[in-house]
Structure 1
Amino acid sequence: MSRTRVLTAAAVSASTIAALLALPAAQATVSNDVVVNEVYGGGGNSGATLKNDFIELRNDGTAPVSLASWSVQYISAAPGAATTWQVTNLSGSIAPGKTYLIAEAAGTGGTADLPAPDATGAINLSGTAGTVALVTSQTALTCKTAADCAAEGSIKDLIGYGTAVIHEGSADAPAASNTTSVARNASGTDTDQNGTDFTAGDPTPTPGGSGTGGGTQPGPLRIHDIQGAGWVSPVNGQAVTNVPGIVTALRTSGSKGFWIQDPTPDANPATSEALFVYTGSAPTVAVGDSVLVSGKAQAYYPLASGDTVATTSNLSVTEIGGPTVTEVSSGNALPAPIVLSAANVPATYAPNLGGANIEGTPVVPTRSVLDFYRSIQGMRVEVDDARVVGPSDTYGEQYVTVKPNEAATYRGGSELLGENQTPSGRLEVVPADGSNPHVNVGDVFTGATVGPLDYSQYGGFLIAASTLGTVQNNHLAPVVAAPDPAKELSVATYNVENLAPSDPAAKFQRLGAGIVTNLATPDIVSVEEVQDNSGATDDGTVAADQTLTKLTAAIAAAGGPHYAWREIDPANDQDGGQPGGNIRTVFLYNPARVKFVDSGPANVDRTTTGTQVVSKHGDPALSLSPGRIDPANPVWTASRKPLVGEFQFRGKDVFVIADHFVAKLGDQSQDGRFQYPAQSSAIQRAGQAQVEHDFVQKLLDVDKKADVVVLGDLNDYQFSPAVNALRTGTSDGTGPSILTDLIGTLPINEQYTYDYEGVSEVLDHILVSKGIKDLSYQVVHVNSEYSDQASDHDPQVVRFKV
């Protein structure tokens, strides 16, 4: 219940009523110069001739009046607690005896365009009743009553029409309709009595620029002046007036607006000639229009959840916000696009600034890709015959390369070959019309893909493609693993991406078929990201038997074995991942081929009690199998704990450790302003790896030839400190190696398990102890390169003799 005091009818005294009746009506100071002259809210409605709503001002004074910091604002006839004033910012000036036309929102009907306006907004006025205010600031009003608005000093003039609660004088102006406006009487007198100052009649908008109006002359700044030679506009936060440009593209979904580009560039290669105009509603301009735009220059930073402008690692986009737009002409030719290729895109993706903010440095287009793209931000660009290196996601976003020979994988992607070595040819493409081309890695957009160069809300440069090349489908075939020789043990890892019982049956079927057909029914499978029985519902459930029953049934239905499983339920909400999901690692195993060695008391709490390495008849064994490695250690905070199991194959012991190290969440962006980006999560992963290395070492201390397989989603690269620490016990990899990371045994162009934003990289690993020889190993690409995925990770499998 709200703590707001409620005044009941019985509690209202006669004196209270008298006081309420004594409150004055809205009575601002009479305006002797600029007034609201006409208001029309029926534009585009049924029966209307005009397509747009409009507001018209008039200067009844003897001198020009600047409108550069003014606005017109609108509120509904009976505003509620959550109702806010809508604002259209103005610019330019209005000469004595002249009018100033402001175009507002369009409807779906009507047959006639408004005359050329002095300013353009997106307010959807009521056709019958509402309140319009002329305000000498561009800050939204907060008053909700006639009395409060009368006391608001920034209101120059105000009209309430129809049944509006807020009006000047004792009565509203007449109601309007789809075919009538309310206009000031011919005498033009402003008596602050809306009921007598205005009359309903036919809409009569006067063309913009009839006085000085918004004007049709360019202002003092051009686009390259606003963009500047740095990373943030030199006039950030300032009002800009009549900035000229040609409309090159529209954005009609999401953050709505349009791009403009100056066809007359300056001689400075660091200054872009284009920018985005943020309207917030569907833009009313057309591609090819020559326009003058006034508003506020602003640096827009895309923010992830929990980010602020101060903390985000994303770069900014220079925009004009709160715009007023004057159309000068239409049907103009667009500036020629810059063709991006290996010839002009730098070889270095980002400069090494020791973690400093790149915004503190000048833009040097030849220094890095980030610099170069900042220098042409918003401008029309083109890529030709672009090969896809990152598949379409559900939002129709995909990545291509402008350097087809750079770090190419054997299946067409672009590979990460070292820390902070993002492939410089990688570039996102998003169709401007919202379509989804459903492309896979290796497909090609043949011909030209053209559009303005933008910066994604998730970070990274992209082409907002108004022209998309024709898709050439190269029919990338999923990898199929070689079948198991009967005398070899096969062990696999597969991250199944937040698998829950509520997932569609098709996902379970595809995972089952993938394990049977593509992985060739491994004897043991480490499965990561298995959620509890209630999925992401945070209800305290931790058991996952329903999830695993559905998964193993799907495998059997696909012709595979009836897998058994071993796992340890986590403590509720203590292992990270999707909140409420309680993801964990699980061993699936084929009991017809291998035996799981269960050990330890049945009543011990394996969630919090760690397993230990013990010697049994001179051979290593586990005090708890299945068990967790040192689960109370702080390195596992909000992260999965490694699951350890002892298996027997053909009478010999094999120790398997299933991992899912802490994710890279919170790390700075590879496409952002801090370079090289800080990886705050790397410290925790290195600590996790060190704890696990020491555990493996204890197994090998008992038997240096023990068969140990460490596998899973390590959330890190093959050259990372974490993987180095897991192999050698040192983050720089200089210690003696006790494990071999099998991804490093593949040819360079095959070393990847994941495709992150168009970069093929390694997150999943299988490592084996030195005692394991005569092995074969494959990464089975069935997901990460495809727009239609059962998971975002690719599985992998190793086979060896025990």
Structure 2
Amino acid sequence: MTAAPTVPSPYRPRRTAAALGALLAAGLCGTLLTGPAPAAASAASAHEGLRVHDIQGDTRLSPFAGETVTDVPGIVTGVRGYGSRGFWLQDPEPDDSAATSEGIFVFTGSAPRVETGDEVLVTGLVGEYYYGGEDAGGQSVTQLSQPRVTVLSSGNALPPPVVLDARSLPRHYAPSGADGIEHLPLRPEYYALDRYESLEGMNVSIGDAPVVGPSTAYYELWVTLEPHRNRTVGGGTRYASYDAQNPGRLKIESLVPVSQVPFPSADVGDVLTGPTEGPLDYDEFGGYTLAARQLGEVVDGGRVPETTRPQAPDELAVAAYNVENLHPRNSQDKFDRLAAGVVTSLAAPDIIALEEIQDDSGPSDDGTVSAEETLRRFTDAIVAAGGPRYAWRGIDPEDGRDGGQPGGNIRNVFLFNPERVSFTDRPGGDATTRTEAVSVDGRAALSHSPGRVTPEDEAWADSRKPLAGEFVFRGETVIVVANHFASKGGDQPLHSRYQPPARVTEEQRVAQAREVNSFVRELRRVERDARVVVLGDINDFEFSPVTRTLTAGGALRSAVLTLPPAERYTYVFQGNSQVLDQILVSPAIRRFEYDIVHINAEFADQASDHDPQVLRMRL
């Protein structure tokens, strides 16, 4: 999943609560488009008599951006004293347009001096704020900044919430606009993103809603307003194609400090029982968000981590597991939980391709590249959990050349059970030397084992290089290629102001897939029935151009497609259950059984953010 520096998921940078709060408070974590400051505006240029719906307008951009508005009336519907500090203002006297929001965020920068229920007049500068910066591709939040606030009265009734549910949400996701949809008139009756935008800043509520994204360390979870759309076996919502964005996904945060009321721990399959009510917000980390003044209760849906069956004596079990930046400074608990996943959940596979093994100094950028201590601790933990004494093979990368967390030098590594399989060692493989398809006794083999696949090719710049190894099981050779393709960090989000959003990182993954596909073809040219397994964190979907490139010409077959659609997911991102990890096999591997073992991605308490996968085959 990692490819850009400090990226813990394939999509977005890691954020700490303290760092994000400081940046937002300082106005540095995004772009604010306003024009001249209020001090530069004359009294004549200030707009009087405007209501919130006038400021919001019927597009995503305010017609008054960059201008000062005076004495805008409304009721405070929510106060945020952390992160981007401010409050939401809503006009209790709406106009008759469904496209113009009656709510707006007032950015104060410091702790707001108003309370929910206050009737206020606000003078301030109208702006469009882009969380994460304008270049990130997200939408903007219309807001008032540098405000002067007059409190007229307190304890007023709040405007009644707009109820969000499946009936009120259009089935179409967004209008098309490769050059941007910001200037298009909103059609809230036809597009879900327009519906949400027409309610930006307004008081909304939801009833009982299934949890489709587990709660996180950032005190957030995802629900769906459409419980029957693309439902997974775990109760989540599956991302099934580029046209299946699942409009019902909605992020939930709480406006109540966790020091007063702890944020609930929720897993996919749980239910957030209502009412949950508060202003509708937007940010870069998930799009439209219900900032809850009142948060419902999480009811346990009974989802528990899965286990797969053990392989039969004549079955070779090959697994892949992204262990999320594993290094010796991690707690023993993380090693133990990952080890238990290998032994109990995966039933101790014969071969495991690991992704995100870091060097022995972890994120310290001190020139260390060896991962011997990381692997020793992990294999010791597996033994302690009742598993076999795994051996390992890998190749240390060049320092700082494989992407991922700076200093971490993540790489792919093979574990294997020497009681069940043997590894064919052919020396000479290193960080920059490619392994070639060669013939040994008429069979496909590797010139270097372990070896790297075309490590010098530009496709692998600042990215993990595939690791190839030659294994023997019951006298039969199997060549395994472990992968961790470039991340999606940098792609425009699904809720982008550009529709369809640009998948700018896809080009590199397609190039990587082309290299792996060519390597498999070379092996099959040497031996038509070569048994090849390609697996790992592909960082792309089973329906993507990347997967089509991997399987081009019939070189490989994706085992994911043998599962029922509702079981096809290894990762949960912003409420979408999706495939990022895959196992693909050459045509000579005909008899196999594939399983994605759901032990992490759907759960708030996870040892890794990816689910492992295993393929059992008879040779």
Q: TM-score, normalised by structure 2?
A: 0.91
For structure 1, which runs of at least 5 residues remain unmatched after alignment? 1-136, 141-153, 155-217, 729-735
Match 2:362 to one of 518, 525, 535: 535
- Distance in 2 of aligned mates of 1:247 and 1:615: 75
Distance 1:698 1:605 in 2: 18
State how 1:237-636 maps to structure 2 within 5 Å. Answer: 237-303=66-132, 308-309=133-134, 311-353=135-177, 355-435=178-258, 436-600=263-427, 604=428, 606-636=430-460
> Structure 2: which 5+ residue stretches go unaligned?
1-36, 42-46
Alpha-carbon offset, residue 219 of structure 1 = 4.1
8 Å contact kept, 1:315–1:459: no
SS at match of 1:484: coil
Task: Give the residue type in structure 1 aligned to 2:490.
Answer: G
Kindly state the Cα deviation for residue 484 of structure 1 after the two structures are TM-superposed.
Answer: 1.3
Distance in 1, Cα, partners of 2:284 & 2:151: 29
- Tell me by how many angstroms 1:251 deviates: 0.5
CA displacement at 1:358 relative to structure 2: 1.0
CA distance in 1, matches of 2:239, 2:172: 13
8 A contact 2:328–2:361 mirrored in 1: yes
- Is residue 428–residue 460 contact of structure 1 (8 Å, CA) maintained in 2? yes
> Which residue, 682, 690, 696 being the options, matches 2:520?
696
Asked if 1 retains the 8 angstrom alpha-carbon contact of 2:429 and 2:449, the reply is no
Q: Which residue number corresponds to residue 33 of structure 1?
A: none
SS where residue 615 of structure 2 aligns?
A: strand
CA distance in 2, matches of 1:138, 1:774: 71
Structure 1 equivalent of residue 612 of structure 2? 795
- The residue that corresponds to 1:39 in the other structure is none
Q: 1:595-625 CA deviation, whole Å, 9 max, x = no partner?
A: 000013xxx4611110000111111111000
Aligned length: 574
> SS at the partner of 2:551?
helix
Q: Give 1:352 shift.
A: 2.8
CA deviation after TM superposition for structure 1 residue 139, in Å: 5.6
1:184 aligned residue: none
Q: 1:486 Cα deviation (Å)?
A: 1.0
Does structure 1 conserve the Cα–Cα contact (< 8 Å) formed by 2:413 and 2:467? yes
Please list the CA deviations of residues 713-753 of structure 1 after superposition, one character each: whole Å capped at 9, or x if unmatched.
0000001111101011xxxxxxx322110111100111111
Amino acid of the structure 2 residue aligned with 1:491: V
Distance 1:359 1:663, change over 3 A: same
Tell me: CA distance 1:561–1:389, structure 2 relative to 1, closer, same or farther (3 Å).
same
Take 1:459 and 1:412, find their aligned partners in 2: how far apart are those partners? 20
Query: Could you say what secondary structure the match of 1:359 adopts?
Result: coil
What is the alpha-carbon distance in structure 2 between the residues aligned to residue 479 and residue 566 of structure 1? 28
1:662-699 CA distance string (max 9 Å, x none): 10111111111111111111111111111111110111
In the alignment, what sits opposite 2:63? Answer: 234
Following the alignment from structure 1 to structure 2, what is the Cα–Cα distance between the partners of residues 241 and 138?
Answer: 11
Relative contact order: is structure 1 or structure 2 higher (C-alpha 8 Å, sep ≥ 6)?
2
For 1:654, what is the secondary structure of its paired residue?
A: strand
Asked if the contact 1:396/1:434 (under 8 Å) is kept, the reply is no
| Superimposed CA distance per residue, residues 231-266 of structure 1 (whole angstroms, 9 cap, x where no aligned partner) | 111111111100000111111111111111111110
Partner of 1:222: 51
TM-score by length of 1: 0.70
- Which structure has the bigger radius of gyration? 1
* Structure 1 residue ranges, 4+ long, deviating more than 6 angstroms after superposition: none
Check whether the contact 2:182–2:497 (CA below 8 A) recurs between aligned residues.
yes
Percent identity of equivalent pairs: 50
SS at match of 1:546: helix
**Residue in structure 1 matched with residue 590 of structure 2 by the alignment:** 773
Q: CA–CA distance in 1 between the matches of 2:273 and 2:575?
A: 18
- Partners of 1:605 and 1:614 in 2: CA distance: 14
Task: State the match for 2:25 in structure 1.
Answer: none
How far off its partner does 1:301 sit?
1.0
Aligned to 1:650: 474
CA distance in 2, matches of 1:463, 1:272: 15
Give the secondary-structure state (helix, strand or coil) at the position aligned to 1:343. Answer: helix
C-alpha separation between the residues in 1 aligned to 2:304 and 2:545? 34
User: Aligned equivalents of 1:761 and 1:447: distance in 2?
Assistant: 27
Q: CA deviation at 1:350?
A: 2.4
Partner of 1:90: none
Name the amino acid aligned to 1:392: S
Structure 2 residue identity aligned to 1:551: F
Structure 1 residues 49-60: aligned runs within 5 Å: none
What is the rounded CA distance, in whole Å, between the counterparts of 1:657 and 1:331 in structure 2?
65
* Shift, 1:332, TM fit: 1.2
* In structure 2, distance between residues paired with 1:298 and 1:240: 11
Question: What's the CA shift string for 1:152-203, capped at 9, x where partnerless?
Answer: xx9xxxxxxxxxxxxxxxxxxxxxxxxxxxxxxxxxxxxxxxxxxxxxxxxx
- Cα distance in 2 for partners of 1:433, 1:323 equals 23
Decide whether the 8 Å contact of 1:380 with 1:452 is kept in 2: yes
Equivalent AA in structure 2 for residue 375 of structure 1 = S
Which one-letter code corresponds to 2:281 in the other structure? D
The one-letter amino acid of 1:402's match is L
**1:741 corresponding residue in structure 2:** 558
**Partner deviation per Cα, 1:324-368 (whole Å, 9 max, x = no partner):** 111112211111111111111111222332x22111322221232
Amino acid at match of 2:153: S
Give the whole-Å Cα distance in 1 for the aligned partners of 2:235 and 2:164: 19
Matching residue of 1:684: 508
Residues 370-423 of structure 1 deviation map (CA, whole Å, 9 limit, x = unaligned): 111111101111111011000001011110000110110011100011024211
Give CA deviations for 1:109-163 in whole Å, capped at 9, x if unaligned: xxxxxxxxxxxxxxxxxxxxxxxxxxxx9669xxxxxxxxxxxxx9xxxxxxxxx
Contact 1:420–1:670 (CA under 8 A) maintained in structure 2: no
1:656 to partner: Cα distance: 0.3
Contact 2:66 2:125 in 1 (8 A): yes
Counterpart residue type for residue 245 of structure 2: T
